């Protein structure tokens, strides 16, 4: 297709509104992009099993999950960057001493290393998921692409200073994603862009949160949602309206895509 473009959309606060609903205008716009022959993918910190229904509804078969650590291109996995197993085991020991629970995630499931913790329930509840089941041995013999660690923001520095192989990306006041150091959505976006033989000029990215910043900076056609954090807005080439105010459609029309 001549003039084919490549689109990457974050999920929470970008495709989904503040109540985790997909606005009708957004659904129609994304489907219109696909009908026009554009390549449309998702780039999220979520695990694949957490947005399966959304993919199927929109007809999307390519995505970056775990902030780029596990990527699927047209139904086939092409990116697999699990957490270092020894370092994850060390993190588990240290976090347990500090009463900071963990949730381990692979492409199919997630398990907690303690039976229950209110911060796990509160944080994951904002994504409309229940407290994960207890299975402290889930990390053994599996590739874990992302972990969630639960503690207050004022303790961030301890983990950032002591785990060079990991990046800690805060997504909730009680929780941070744990991903391989240097891993980001931008890396996955570049991999898929190269696989398609496309250039940055053809690339459009949409996001709202701290884990979108690298992706936003990577693309010259970057859109920050009106509800996005200040760092994302400052890095983006265009700031659209709020996700609940037809922000996706507004941006696509502004860019001359729709």
How many Cβ atoms from other residues are within 10 Å of residue 206's Cβ?
A: 29
User: Can you read off the two tokens belonging to residue 46?
Assistant: 């979520």
The phi and psi torsions of 144 (rounded to 5 degrees) equal -105, 115
Q: Residues 10, 12, 17, 177: which is the catalytic one?
A: 10
Spatial separation of the C-alpha atoms in residues 70 and 140, rounded to whole Å: 19
Residue 133 among the catalytic residues: no
Provide the 8-state DSSP code for 257: -
How many Cβ atoms from other residues are within 10 Å of residue 194's Cβ?
A: 10
**79 with 188: CB under 8 angstroms?**
yes
- Report the catalytic residues: 10
């Amino acid at each position: 297709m001549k003039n084919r473009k490549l689109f990457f959309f974050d999920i929470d606060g970008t495709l989904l509104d503040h109540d985790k609903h997909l606005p009708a205008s957004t659904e129609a716009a994304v489907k219109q992009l696909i009908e026009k022959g554009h390549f449309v993918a998702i780039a999220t910190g979520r695990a694949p099993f957490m947005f399966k229904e959304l993919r199927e509804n929109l007809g999307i078969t390519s995505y970056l999950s775990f902030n780029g650590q596990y990527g699927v291109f047209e139904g086939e996995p092409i990116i697999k960057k699990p957490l270092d197993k020894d370092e994850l085991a060390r993190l588990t020991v240290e976090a347990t001493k500090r009463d900071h629970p963990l949730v381990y995630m692979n492409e199919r499931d997630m398990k907690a290393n303690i039976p229950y913790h209110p911060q796990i329930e509160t944080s994951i509840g904002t994504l409309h998921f229940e407290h994960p089941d207890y299975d402290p041995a889930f990390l053994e013999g599996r590739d874990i692409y992302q972990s969630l660690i639960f503690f207050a923001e004022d303790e961030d520095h301890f983990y950032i200073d002591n785990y060079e192989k990991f990046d800690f990306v805060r997504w909730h006041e009680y929780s941070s994603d744990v991903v391989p150091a240097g891993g980001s959505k931008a890396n996955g976006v570049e991999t898929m862009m190269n696989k398609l033989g496309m250039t940055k000029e053809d690339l459009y990215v949409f996001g709202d949160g701290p884990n979108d910043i690298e992706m936003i900076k990577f693309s010259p056609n970057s859109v920050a949602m009106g509800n996005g954090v200040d760092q994302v807005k400052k890095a983006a080439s265009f700031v659209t309206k709020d996700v609940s105010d037809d922000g996706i459609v507004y941006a696509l029309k502004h860019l001359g895509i729709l």
